[in-house]
Amino acid sequence: MKMLVRAAIPVFLVVWGQCGFSQAATGSDHPCPMHASHMGSDAHHAMVESHGDQAMGFPHDKTTHHFRLAEDGGTIEVTADDPKDSANIEAIQMHLMHIAQMFGQGDFSTPMFVHDTIPPGVTTMKLLKEKIHFAYNQLEAGGRVSLVSEDAVARAAIHDFLRFQITDHRTGDPLELGASH
């Protein structure tokens, strides 16, 4: 037992010393005990935006994204902030047309790249892709992809996917059916 205590003391001192050193070195005497968590969240959001810009072919800061839940599934909608921004409108329309085709084939590699994870609902949507109708609709300043299904399990997967998108992209869209924004 004495040997175990003697071995544990240097480990404790090293860990304790590193904690004290890292706190002093980073100046992490923030009043918010969740500061590191918030910073991690901000870093993740920056990664999502960066990956999104790469994957979509248009800048997130010149567009507006909405992920909307519906009784029969939901929609992904992207519009250019400037209705005269023809270059970004065209890029949005091309991207969403491509997304509808990819999703219909069970290919969700774009959201997996953007979010650096497999978003909730994706695995089920891949398995049930034949029970989901993915449709692209052109809008004046962008486009919309509808994800619709009569299958309850597929609809639940669509809702899980869209809720994840709402949260990870920080769109502020309602997370529940029937909620207004």
Reported as a single tens digit per residue, the pLDDT across 102-159 is: 999 999 988 876 657 788 999 999 999 999 999 999 999 999 999 999 999 999 999 9
Q: How many domains does the chain have?
A: 1
Any alpha helices (H) in 32-118, and if so which ranges? Answer: 35-56, 86-104, 109-115
- Residue 23 in any domain: the answer is no
This prediction's pTM: 0.71
Three-class DSSP category at 106: coil
What's the CA gap between 9 and 147, in Å, rounded?
58
Residues 13, 19, 43: CA angle, nearest 5 degrees: 155
Q: What does the alpha-carbon distance between residue 169 and residue 52 come to, in Å, rounded to a whole number?
A: 10
Residue 17 domain flag:
no
Residue 142 is assigned to a structural domain of this protein: yes
CA-based nearest residue to 72, from 138, 144, 154, 167: 154
Q: Give the whole-angstrom CA distance, residue 110 versus residue 156.
A: 21
Instruction: Provide mean pLDDT across the span 70-84.
Output: 96
Q: How far apart are CA 43 and CA 35, in angstroms?
A: 12
Residue 163 lies in a domain: yes
Q: What is the pLDDT of residues 144-160, one digit of tens each?
A: 999 999 999 999 999 99
Residue 36 lies in a domain: no
Task: Give 43-70 pLDDT, tens digit per residue.
Answer: 655 554 654 555 566 677 889 999 999 9
Q: Would residue 66 count as lying in a domain?
A: yes
Domain that holds residue 162: 43-169
How far, in Å, CA of 60 to CA of 160, rounded?
22
Tally the C-alpha atoms within 13 A of residue 12's C-alpha that lie toward its C-beta: 6
Closest by CA position to 69, among listed 121, 111, 109: 121
Q: Is residue 71 part of a domain?
A: yes
Residue 174: inside a domain, yes or no?
A: no
pLDDT for residue 67: 93
Percent of the chain with pLDDT over 70: 65
Handedness of CA 12, 16, 19, 21 (dihedral sign): negative
